[in-house]
Structure 1
Amino acid sequence: MGGAFLAAAVLARLGGRIGLPTIPLFILAGILLGPHTPGVVLVSHPHDLEMLSALGLVLLLFYLGLEFHLDDLKTGGRRMALAGGAYLALNVGAGLGFGFALGWGTSEALVLAGVLGISSSAIVTKVLVDTGRLGNPETRPILGIIVVEDVFLALYLAALQPILSGSDSVASAVMDGGKAFGFLLLLALVARFGTRVIGKLISTRDDELLVISFLGAAVLVAGVSEWFGVADAIGAFMVGLMLGSTTSGKRIMKLVHPLRDAFGAIFFFAFGLSINPGDLPVVLWPVLAAVALTFVMNVLAGLAAGRIYRFGPRPSANISTTLLARGEFALILATMAATAGLDDRLSPFIAGYVLLLAVLGPLAAGRSHWLARLLPGGRDAGRGGGGPVAGSGSTRDGAQEGRVSLEKVPA
């Protein structure tokens, strides 16, 4: 574990000198020091870091919930649902069509629909933090799309599991879906009406007790969520949503920073451990085609979200590129596919696809102003303002453009 932390830190420091984001470097450290490449092997079995990796994902999404206030759901719920629905329709629909076009089988196509359709909550969160865009106007739609994706994810997994296992019980699938949806509804009701009570329970002047309290709440609810068929990450997100609205919210956000960064690095390192580069050449062309398709669909989804929120080209480009990466959910589907005995090409395809987008996604997000120039109205917007803000990949004019647009639209 110590070697994993240090290896990730050294690579990230080297990459930072030439402007590379940390996420792909953490993943690269896992690939180079894992069991699938020659040389030094720090971790022989990726499952050895499974719990630490899960904790990293929980803390990343918990922090995301702290940033996402309940007022955003109250005032922008309809537009959020429209933007999330448009994103899913474009990406999941394209993934399903791509799966059938490959001709690997119906079950494989259903798996690929989820792989190509759902972005990585962990990478999206890290990109927003690294680029300094948490305060940008387009960040709210991005977080809203993630929430819609996670709700879809719970229902999708509940429906897919009996298909992959060969179960003929529709009632069982409906029951699993209902259980997941019911638990999500319960969390939403607690977040909506129980914030004052939760605030009193969590409140303490002692930082040590506060850390133990919010960490215990986030991990416990994440575990219970998984038992109900809801992704553990969405459970942690909901806890963050609740605590972020309390009087202790700002202190919690400050205290969780080092935990989020440390265990987040382990999450991406463990992600790299699971990738075997030797399997990738067999599925190289399908992977490249899927990456190109995902990029096109994300641009269309970003334009759709920008239209819904009346954003200009720069915030729309930020939405498109920030949501580009695929990650933890795709790997879960790869595991399910392998267990179900589906096509042998599916697992290396998913690994290659996820690896490429995990690298290209953060890079594209940091240079989203290039895409903005190609979008409708992008050249005109580019004439009025300077270059990108250092370290953000965005522009001052783009952020101002988004704020003006928001002011024109009633909540």
Structure 2
Amino acid sequence: MGGAFVAAAVLARLGGRIGLPTIPLFILAGILLGPHTPGVVLVSDPHDLEMLSALGLVLLLFYLGLEFHIDDLKAGGRNMALAGGIYLALNVGAGLGFGFALGWGVSEALVLAGVLGFSSSAIVTKILVDTSRLGNPETKPILGIIVVEDVFIALYLAALQPILSGADSLSTALVDGGKAFGFLIALALVARYGTRVVGRLINTPDDEILTISFLGAAVLMAGVSEWFGVADAIGAFMVGLMLGSTTSGKRILKLVHPLRDAFGAIFFFVFGLSINPGDLPGVVWPVLIAVALTLSMNVISGITAARIYRFGAQPAANIATTLLARGEFALILATMAAAAGLDSRLSPFIAGYVLVLAIMAPLAAGRSEWLARVLPGGKPKTTEAGEDDAGASGSSVPERTSV
């Protein structure tokens, strides 16, 4: 574990000098020092760091929940559902069509629909933090789409599991889906009406006790969420959503920051450990086609979401590039596909596709103004300081300088 931290830190320092984001560098460290690459092998079995990786994901989404207040959900519920529904329809639909076009099988096409359809909550969170955009107006629809995705993921997994396992009982799928949906409703009700009670329970002047309390709550709820068939990340997100609205919210935000950064790095490092570069050459063309398809769907989705929220070209570009990454859910589907004995080309395809987008997304998000120039209403205005106006081209939000 110490070697993983040091390797990630060294590569991040080197990359920072030439302006590269940290996410692909953490992943690269895992690839170079993992069991599939010649040379020094720090970790021979990625499962050795599995719990630390899970903790990294939990903390990333917990932090996201702290930043995304419950009032944002109440105020933008209709627009959030509309933007998220359109995003899913475009991306999941494109993934399903792509899967059938490959001709690998019906079950394989359903897996590919999920792989191409859902963004990586962890990478999206890290991009928003690294680009200092958590306060930008377009961040609300980005987080709203992530929330809608996570709700749909729970239902999608519940429906897909019996298909991959060969179960012919529709009732089993309905029961699993109902259990997951019921748990999500319960979490939403607690977040909506139980914030005051939760605040009293968590509040303490002692930073040590407060840290143990919020960390225990986030990890425990993540585990309970998994038991109900909901992604652990959404459970941690909901806990962050509740605690962020309490009187201790600002202190928790400050205390969790170093934990998020440290274990988030391990999450991406472990992701790199799972990638075998030797399997990638055989699926190069399907990967490139899928990447191009995902990029196109995200641009369309970004423009559509910006129209819904009455934003301009720059926010549309930020939405499109931030949501581009695919990650943890795709890897879950790869594991399920391998266990079900589906086409052997699925695993290397998913690894290559996720790796390319995990590298491309942070780079594209950091240079989203290039995309904004070619979108409808592009060529954003320039302030006296020479910076782009994030709300250009008819945004209804107050002017804000993009970071």
Instruction: Tell me the TM-score normalised to structure 1 length.
Output: 0.95
Q: 1: distance between equivalents of 2:337 and 2:95?
A: 16
- Alignment-mate amino acid for residue 209 of structure 1: I
Indicate whether 1:183 and 2:180 are aligned: no
User: Aligned-residue CA RMSD in angstroms?
Assistant: 1.3
Q: Which runs of 5+ in 2 are unaligned?
A: none
Q: 2:378–2:393: 8 Å Cα contact kept in structure 1?
A: no
* Secondary structure of 1:20 counterpart: coil
Q: 1: distance between equivalents of 2:81 and 2:386?
A: 30
Indicate whether 1:220 and 2:220 are aligned: yes
* Secondary structure of 2:396 counterpart: helix
Structure 1 residues 121-270: aligned runs within 5 Å: 121-270=121-270
- Alignment-mate amino acid for residue 303 of structure 2: L
- Alignment-mate amino acid for residue 76 of structure 2: G
Partner of 2:282 in structure 1?
282
Deviation of residue 406 (structure 1)? 3.0
- In structure 2, do the counterparts of structure 1 residues 402 and 129 end up closer, same or farther at CA, with 3 Å as the change threshold? farther
Partner of 2:322 in structure 1?
322
Partner of 2:87 in structure 1?
87
Q: 2: distance between equivalents of 1:386 and 1:72?
A: 32
- In structure 2, do the counterparts of structure 1 residues 61 and 388 end up closer, same or farther at CA, with 3 Å as the change threshold? farther
Q: 1: distance between equivalents of 2:383 and 2:299?
A: 22
Q: 1: distance between equivalents of 2:146 and 2:209?
A: 31
- CA-to-partner distance for each residue in 1:230-264, whole Å, 9 max, x for gaps? 00000000000000000000000000000000000
Q: 2: distance between equivalents of 1:40 and 1:183?
A: 45
Indicate whether 1:406 and 2:397 are aligned: yes
Q: 1: distance between equivalents of 2:386 and 2:57?
A: 30
Q: 2: distance between equivalents of 1:74 and 1:259?
A: 29
- In structure 2, do the counterparts of structure 1 residues 402 and 237 end up closer, same or farther at CA, with 3 Å as the change threshold? farther
* Secondary structure of 1:34 counterpart: coil
- Alignment-mate amino acid for residue 89 of structure 2: A
- Alignment-mate amino acid for residue 213 of structure 1: S
- Alignment-mate amino acid for residue 406 of structure 1: V
- In structure 2, do the counterparts of structure 1 residues 388 and 282 end up closer, same or farther at CA, with 3 Å as the change threshold? farther
Deviation of residue 20 (structure 1)? 0.1
Deviation of residue 165 (structure 1)? 0.2
- Alignment-mate amino acid for residue 397 of structure 2: L
Deviation of residue 385 (structure 1)? 4.2
- CA-to-partner distance for each residue in 1:129-174, whole Å, 9 max, x for gaps? 0000000000000000000000000000000000000000100000
Q: 2: distance between equivalents of 1:178 and 1:213?
A: 30
Find runs of 4+ consecutive structure 1 residues off by over 2 angstroms: 384-389, 400-404
* Secondary structure of 2:58 counterpart: helix
Deviation of residue 403 (structure 1)? 9.8
- Alignment-mate amino acid for residue 374 of structure 2: L
Deviation of residue 80 (structure 1)? 0.4
Partner of 1:76 in structure 2?
76
* Secondary structure of 2:42 counterpart: coil
Deviation of residue 386 (structure 1)? 6.9
Structure 1 residues 38-77: aligned runs within 5 Å: 38-77=38-77
Partner of 1:359 in structure 2?
359
- Alignment-mate amino acid for residue 116 of structure 1: L
Q: 2: distance between equivalents of 1:74 and 1:249?
A: 19
* Secondary structure of 2:166 counterpart: coil
Q: 1: distance between equivalents of 2:267 and 2:50?
A: 8
Partner of 1:392 in structure 2?
none
Q: Which runs of 5+ in 1 are unaligned?
A: 390-394
Deviation of residue 27 (structure 1)? 0.1
- In structure 2, do the counterparts of structure 1 residues 306 and 404 end up closer, same or farther at CA, with 3 Å as the change threshold? closer
Q: 2: distance between equivalents of 1:407 and 1:172?
A: 49
Q: 2: distance between equivalents of 1:108 and 1:387?
A: 51
Q: 2: distance between equivalents of 1:69 and 1:285?
A: 42
- Alignment-mate amino acid for residue 95 of structure 1: G
Q: 1:309–1:406: 8 Å Cα contact kept in structure 2?
A: no
Q: 1: distance between equivalents of 2:354 and 2:398?
A: 37
Partner of 1:339 in structure 2?
339
* Secondary structure of 1:405 counterpart: coil
Q: 1: distance between equivalents of 2:130 and 2:393?
A: 20
Identity of aligned residues (%): 82
- Alignment-mate amino acid for residue 346 of structure 1: L
Deviation of residue 405 (structure 1)? 1.0
Partner of 2:29 in structure 1?
29
Partner of 1:306 in structure 2?
306
Deviation of residue 401 (structure 1)? 3.6
- Alignment-mate amino acid for residue 310 of structure 2: R
- Alignment-mate amino acid for residue 320 of structure 1: A
Q: 2: distance between equivalents of 1:300 and 1:223?
A: 35
Deviation of residue 387 (structure 1)? 8.4
